[in-house]
Chains A and B, each alone.
Chain A
Amino acid sequence: MTYAYLFKYIIIGDTGVGKSCLLLQFTDKRFQPVHDLTIGVEFGARMVNIDGKQIKLQIWDTAGQESFRSITRSYYRGAAGALLVYDITRRETFNHLTSWLEDARQHSSSNMVIMLIGNKSDLESRRDVKREEGEAFAREHGLIFMETSAKTACNVEEAFINTAKEIYRKIQQGLFDVHNEANGIKIGPQQCISSSVGPSTSQRNSGDVESNSGCC
């Protein structure tokens, strides 16, 4: 399967917020209710379509425990996007965002796109962090924001795809050096920049955010 671009993502955030479930929902379209601690880092991949272009997403799911922090740090430099996840039913996971963000900002390239995600939106009755608080935090720190549910799949596609859109936008603005793979971006095989602008011939159907916008 050829692609126009390849983006590397990482998923970060406290343990138990649903990082692995988000990845599984996005790559396999299923939900795993049993909490299975991620040891180190797991990997998943999927193709998405943005502006008629095939974009391959390679996603590394990290372990949130403190003991794995130094391992996680090694992934910031090479990532083009990061999903920073908290659990809307556990305030402490929201409170820890600052420390995650500091880590990310310190170790990543300055252009890394960070998407803030309030997960478990299906558990409205147990909500502990207001959506507005998430929005405010995102605004204050210049992040994109979404609430998702890895369980019902609500907004999961959108979260990954909107991140890709933002990266794509930055590429078009020339903010990313696409030839330096250390930025977490790669141009597809037999693809050059000039040919990558304009409508794609591919008709592979993958989630396009335009057609199904937010539901949470």
Chain B
Amino acid sequence: MNFLRGVMGGQSAGPQHTEAETIQKLCDRVASSTLLDDRRNAVRALKSLSKKYRLEVGIQAMEHLIHVLQTDRSDSEIIGYALDTLYNIISNDEEEEVDDVEEENSTRQSEDLGSQFTEIFIKQQENVTLLLSLLEEFDFHVRWPGVKLLTSLLKQLGPQVQQIILVSPMGVSRLMDLLADSREVIRNDGVLLLQALTRSNGAIQKIVAFENAFERLLDIITEEGNSDGGIVVEDCLILLQNLLKNNNSNQNFFKEGSYIQRMKPWFEVGDENSGWSAQKVTNLHLMLQLVRVLVSPTNPPGATSSCQKAMFQCGLLQQLCTILMATGVPADILTETINTVSEVIRGCQVNQDYFASVNAPSNPPRPAIVVLLMSMVNERQPFVLRCAVLYCFQCFLYKNQKGQGEIVSTLLPSTIDATGSSVSAGQLLCGGLFSTDSLSNWCAAVALAHALQENATQKEQLLRVQLATSIGNPPVSLLQQCTNILSQGDKIDRRGSKIQTRIGLLMLLCTWLSNCPIAVTHFLHNSANVPFLTGQIAENLGEEEQLVQGLCALLLGISIYFNDNSLENYMKEKLKQLIEKRIGKENFVEKLGFISKHELYSRASQKPQPNFPSPEYMIFDHEFTKLVKELEGVITKAIYKSSEEDKKEEEVKKTLEQHDSIVTHYKNVIREQDLQLDDLKQQISTLKCQNEQLQTAVTQQASQIQQHKDQYNLLKVQLGKDNQHQGSYSDGAQMNGIQPEEIGRLREEIEELKSNRELLQSQLAEKDFLIENLKSSQTSPGTNEATASARDSEQIAELKQEMATLKSQLISQSVEITKLQTEKQELLQKTEAFAKSVPVPGESETAKTTDVEGRLAALLQETIELKNEIKALSEERTAIKEQLDSSNSTIATLQNERNKLEGDITDSKKEQDDLLVLLADQDQKMLSLKNKLKELGHPVEEEDELESGDQDDEDDEDEDDGKDQDHI
């Protein structure tokens, strides 16, 4: 009960008990009352108790409320109360109302309560599905609390609720419809719901984007007045960020949907001093961050560079630069704008070139770069702003040889502005490097190092820079001046951490000397430098100095590793002996290891942006950590190698290099041939493809031709038949829908009937004759007259009978004949009518012939046409055959070429094999040399033996390179 009391605050035991009973009664009413009104009132009462007695109501009423949602859907009022109550139970949003003394304690408890009730609610997945379906209800009293409840559930147990929504059909899509709600409250709370829904769930983010979220949100932002809009704009921007951050697919969609263009108006804030409300600052901040999400250095390179291009093309970068140079912009907006510009230009030549051309609207106009650098070396500027400028400068120089050259050139004697009327970037950097502010020292050193990054030319150029120290004294070189300051150790006079100054200078020197033997020679030429370094490394100093010791070791290591032995006193060998004598190899390597073991090292190696919580953390530069990674191993190895080994290795290296170059040459040849082969294969497959295509076309056409032939034959046959018809029935009765067969049949019938009648008539005649005969025989008397006559009369009667039947038959037949004749007449009339309608004047006979002739002509025409078509088709076919032949011959040539190439490859493979044998020999030799060495007692490292045998790996690497390039 302690827990309960905590939640219920200052309630005494008595009323608490009563309230619990009341809640129980209300629950009973909700559960058992048959009257809707009654249930509704009970739910409303529960709602009013649910804030104050959250636990009680939650425990007792949850299942009843869910039941109401299931069964009382027809009454939006009761559903609304139920949703409100559930919201009060589950949400922690109202916590500020708890005015408890143990505020913090109670807040934590109420948070527990929220997530526990959420867990109970979502245990039945159908409850979430039910809630989703309630959101389709348009009624405000249902939809609004529904949105709020679902938002609360998502805030409490995001991943679980997201998963349920994801698997319920159209779950996510339906929630998207909230953005289209005309009631602003619902639309705005819909945005909040979608924020919670999309939080760190890539699949949901993609579906929401697919459902046109970008378009809708950008529309809302525009409608609300961009950065001048209220909190809705802020909410939309947060949702956009949810959708885009670390989601490559959505970023690509955003870019492809041309939505970057729609961001440009966001930054049209100009110079106008219309005031910067807190909301506007927040909005702009989020807008800038959204730009950065699209061009983050951690995105795939191809994705970032295409967004960078789009941002230049649509003028967004230009707009950002306007803010950069505007006055009255709040410092944090300015800082974030600088960071944003940095990432929009980073590694993108076009954008970097544009940035170099931007001028500040001062009189006379100064380059933006110069104006920014002024802030970087100005102690009075905020720390974060100075870091941002450094980042911007770094991004401007990243993969930008041209920019690096321009910066370094402002320091060279030939180009320095003699009048001194305008300050240059180089001058500002030198000023920063040697100022009395250690942060400026660090920033300037790192900035200068970035002007040298991966650029051997500029490393050499910078050696020419001379500085005038004080009047009367001769100028000193920049390199010299750096080492001079370094050698003062912590005796230098600086504001801020002196360590920072020295670390900055050491990083600059390491970058400068690496991969640049001439710079190493210059450095070693100053005889004070090596003793200083060995002294620093050898000393047993406190933890503070360990990092400086490590950097000194790195610098000395670089002086050995990139030493071209051009100085007698500081040849590789001598330096190594020095280390052995003064420091000890182990000790040296341990000190070297201090760098990468430093706690801030890994932090800096993660992201290019110099982002430090406070000035003390400003120790490592991102690019420098890359250099350390690259050199730590090789320097350690170099230190441990003996001089003889070194020499031998050098020799072996030379011969190996020779062999290597031969092998590389052949590898290249093979690679080229391979490419050619692939190309040819591709061609062959395309040709095959084409060939198949043509063959199908030929087959198709052949079958078409056959069809046409068949049709033609059919027509020919029909034509013949028609001609016959024309011959036998000159009335052309087959026209106009009357079937000639029918007429023929009718005629035949008539014929038959006629002959029938004739037969009957001849029978009749016979009978008549018989009767006559009998009559005459009657008149001659005889003995058997009576019987005979009796028989006769019988016969007569019979005959008469027969005659009667015949007669009736005859009559019916002649009726039929008449009918048929009239039918025939009708038919003839019809035919005649038709014949008349044929527009050929003159006698009917000629008309008919003309008609027939016409039709004949038409048919002939058709036949000719068909013949032509057939001809055309066969021509086409011939053409295709020719094409086919030519492609076949091309294929043959290609096959020949291919065979030849394959021969070539076999040859070069043979050569390669020979070379491999040679290499094996070489290896053998090396091995024996090593054995000899071993016999002599020198340790031999196994790794070196393998250097010649890794052809396959190298090939793989090449392939990978190719791929990456493709990607960019």
Q: Are A58 and B253 in contact (CB under 8 A)?
A: yes
Q: Which residue of B lies closest to A39 (CB)?
A: B202
Binding stretch for chain A, among B39-47, B536-544, B687-695, B920-928: B687-695
Instruction: Give 17 A-B pairs besides A77-B173, A78-B210, A216-B689 with Cβ atoms closer than 8 angstroms.
Output: A40-B203, A40-B249, A41-B207, A41-B210, A41-B249, A43-B206, A44-B252, A45-B252, A60-B206, A70-B166, A70-B167, A71-B203, A74-B166, A77-B170, A152-B686, A181-B215, A215-B689
Contact code string B256-273 (vs A, CB < 8 Å = 1, else 0): 111000000000000000
Asked if A213 lies at the interface with its beta carbon under 8 angstroms from chain B, I say yes
Instruction: Tell me whether A213 and B256 are in contact in the complex, defined as CB-CB below 8 angstroms, given that A41-B203, A43-B249 are known contacts.
Output: no
14 sampled A-B residue pairs with Cβ under 8 A: A41-B203, A41-B210, A43-B249, A45-B252, A68-B203, A73-B170, A74-B166, A74-B172, A74-B207, A74-B210, A75-B207, A78-B173, A107-B170, A122-B685
Asked if A52 lies at the interface with its beta carbon under 8 angstroms from chain B, I say no
Asked if B169 lies at the interface with its beta carbon under 8 angstroms from chain A, I say yes
User: Could you say which residues of chain B place their CB within 8 Å of the CB of A77?
Assistant: 170, 173
Q: Are B170 and A74 in contact (CB under 8 A)?
A: yes
**Residues of chain B in range 842-888 having any CB-CB distance to chain A below 8 Å:** none
**Residues of chain B in range 494-546 having any CB-CB distance to chain A below 8 Å:** none
Choose one: A71, A78, A154, A181; the contact of B689 (CB below 8 Å): A154
**Residues of chain A in range 1-31 having any CB-CB distance to chain B below 8 Å:** 1, 8, 30
Instruction: Tell me whether A40 and B206 are in contact in the complex, defined as CB-CB below 8 angstroms, given that A30-B966, A154-B689 are known contacts.
Output: yes
Give Cα A77 to B177, complex, Å: 13
A27–chain B nearest beta-carbon distance, Å: 10
B308–chain A nearest beta-carbon distance, Å: 17
Give Cα A45 to B210, complex, Å: 13
Q: Which residue of B lies closest to A74 (CB)?
A: B207
**Residues of chain B in range 207-222 having any CB-CB distance to chain A below 8 Å:** 207, 210-212, 215
Give Cα A107 to B172, complex, Å: 14
User: Could you say which residues of chain A place their CB within 8 Å of the CB of B689?
Assistant: 152, 154, 215-216
Q: Are A181 and B212 in contact (CB under 8 A)?
A: yes
Instruction: Tell me whether A41 and B206 are in contact in the complex, defined as CB-CB below 8 angstroms, given that A73-B169, A152-B685 are known contacts.
Output: yes
B366–chain A nearest beta-carbon distance, Å: 37
Give Cα A8 to B211, complex, Å: 11
Q: Are B252 and A40 in contact (CB under 8 A)?
A: no
**Residues of chain B in range 682-729 having any CB-CB distance to chain A below 8 Å:** 685-686, 689-690, 692-693
**Residues of chain A in range 136-163 having any CB-CB distance to chain B below 8 Å:** 152, 154
Choose one: B173, B249, B257, B693; the contact of A42 (CB below 8 Å): B249
User: Could you say which residues of chain A place their CB within 8 Å of the CB of B170?
Assistant: 73-74, 77, 107
Give Cα A8 to B212, complex, Å: 11
User: Could you say which residues of chain B place their CB within 8 Å of the CB of A152?
Assistant: 685-686, 689
Asked if B250 lies at the interface with its beta carbon under 8 angstroms from chain A, I say yes
Give Cα A45 to B306, complex, Å: 13
Q: Which residue of B lies closest to A56 (CB)?
A: B256
A18–chain B nearest beta-carbon distance, Å: 17
User: How many A residues have CB within 8 A of the partner chain?
Assistant: 29
Give Cα A71 to B173, complex, Å: 11
Contact code string A112-125 (vs B, CB < 8 Å = 1, else 0): 00000000001000
**Residues of chain B in range 164-210 having any CB-CB distance to chain A below 8 Å:** 166-167, 169-173, 202-203, 206-207, 210
Give Cα A152 to B678, complex, Å: 12
Q: Are B166 and A58 in contact (CB under 8 A)?
A: no
A44–chain B nearest beta-carbon distance, Å: 7
Q: Are B207 and A43 in contact (CB under 8 A)?
A: no
Give Cα A186 to B207, complex, Å: 18
B675–chain A nearest beta-carbon distance, Å: 15
Binding site for A on B (CB under 8 A): 166-167, 169-173, 202-203, 206-207, 210-212, 215, 249-250, 252-253, 256-258, 685-686, 689-690, 692-693, 966
User: Could you say which residues of chain A place their CB within 8 Å of the CB of B252?
Assistant: 43-45
User: Could you say which residues of chain B place their CB within 8 Å of the CB of A42?
Assistant: 249
Q: Which residue of A lies closest to B685 (CB)?
A: A152
Contact code string A98-114 (vs B, CB < 8 Å = 1, else 0): 00000000010000000
User: Could you say which residues of chain A place their CB within 8 Å of the CB of B212?
Assistant: 78, 181
User: Could you say which residues of chain A place their CB within 8 Å of the CB of B686?
Assistant: 152
User: Could you say which residues of chain A place their CB within 8 Å of the CB of B166?
Assistant: 70-71, 74
User: Could you say which residues of chain A place their CB within 8 Å of the CB of B257?
Assistant: 58
Q: Which residue of B lies closest to A77 (CB)?
A: B173
User: Could you say which residues of chain B place their CB within 8 Å of the CB of A70?
Assistant: 166-167, 169
Q: Are A71 and B207 in contact (CB under 8 A)?
A: yes
A191–chain B nearest beta-carbon distance, Å: 14
Q: Which among B167, B206, B256 has the greatest number of chain A C-beta atoms within 10 A?
A: B256
User: Could you say which residues of chain A place their CB within 8 Å of the CB of B207?
Assistant: 41, 71, 74-75
Instruction: Tell me whether A214 and B256 are in contact in the complex, defined as CB-CB below 8 angstroms, given that A43-B249, A77-B173, A107-B170 are known contacts.
Output: no
Give Cα A99 to B468, complex, Å: 82
Q: Are B693 and A45 in contact (CB under 8 A)?
A: no
Choose one: A41, A60, A68, A213; the contact of B693 (CB below 8 Å): A213
Q: Which residue of B lies closest to A1 (CB)?
A: B258
User: Could you say which residues of chain B place their CB within 8 Å of the CB of A154?
Assistant: 689
User: Could you say which residues of chain A place their CB within 8 Å of the CB of B202?
Assistant: 39-40
Give Cα A78 to B209, complex, Å: 11
Contact code string A170-213 (vs B, CB < 8 Å = 1, else 0): 00000000000100000000000000000000000000000001
Q: Are A214 and B693 in contact (CB under 8 A)?
A: yes
Give Cα A43 to B170, complex, Å: 20
B681–chain A nearest beta-carbon distance, Å: 10
B684–chain A nearest beta-carbon distance, Å: 11
B359–chain A nearest beta-carbon distance, Å: 32
Give Cα A75 to B176, complex, Å: 13
Give Cα A77 to B170, complex, Å: 8
A121–chain B nearest beta-carbon distance, Å: 10
A28–chain B nearest beta-carbon distance, Å: 8
User: Could you say which residues of chain A place their CB within 8 Å of the CB of B690?
Assistant: 215
B246–chain A nearest beta-carbon distance, Å: 13
Give Cα A79 to B213, complex, Å: 15
User: Could you say which residues of chain B place their CB within 8 Å of the CB of A78?
Assistant: 173, 210-212
Give Cα A4 to B253, complex, Å: 18
Q: Which residue of A lies closest to B205 (CB)?
A: A40
Give Cα A213 to B258, complex, Å: 32
Give Cα A19 to B170, complex, Å: 23
A38–chain B nearest beta-carbon distance, Å: 10
B768–chain A nearest beta-carbon distance, Å: 77
B244–chain A nearest beta-carbon distance, Å: 12
User: Could you say which residues of chain B place their CB within 8 Å of the CB of A74?
Assistant: 166, 170-173, 207, 210
Contact code string A39-64 (vs B, CB < 8 Å = 1, else 0): 11111110000000000001010000
User: Could you say which residues of chain B place their CB within 8 Å of the CB of A60?
Assistant: 206, 210
Choose one: A30, A75, A122, A215; the contact of B210 (CB below 8 Å): A75
Give Cα A24 to B554, complex, Å: 46
Q: Which residue of A lies closest to B201 (CB)?
A: A40
Q: Which 8 A-B pairs have the closest CB atoms?
A: A45-B256, A215-B689, A70-B167, A43-B249, A40-B203, A74-B207, A43-B253, A215-B693
Q: Which residue of A lies closest to B302 (CB)?
A: A28
Give Cα A1 to B256, complex, Å: 10
B417–chain A nearest beta-carbon distance, Å: 45
User: Could you say which residues of chain B place their CB within 8 Å of the CB of A44?
Assistant: 252
Give Cα A131 to B747, complex, Å: 58
User: Could you say which residues of chain A place their CB within 8 Å of the CB of B693?
Assistant: 213-215
Give Cα A43 to B206, complex, Å: 9
Q: Which residue of B lies closest to A76 (CB)?
A: B170
Instruction: Tell me whether A107 and B169 are in contact in the complex, defined as CB-CB below 8 angstroms, given that A41-B203, A215-B690 are known contacts.
Output: yes
B302–chain A nearest beta-carbon distance, Å: 10
A145–chain B nearest beta-carbon distance, Å: 16
User: Could you say which residues of chain B place their CB within 8 Å of the CB of A75?
Assistant: 207, 210
Give Cα A131 to B207, complex, Å: 34
Q: Which among A1, A8, A71 has the greatest number of chain B C-beta atoms within 10 A?
A: A71
Give Cα A40 to B206, complex, Å: 9
B850–chain A nearest beta-carbon distance, Å: 46
A74–chain B nearest beta-carbon distance, Å: 5
A207–chain B nearest beta-carbon distance, Å: 15
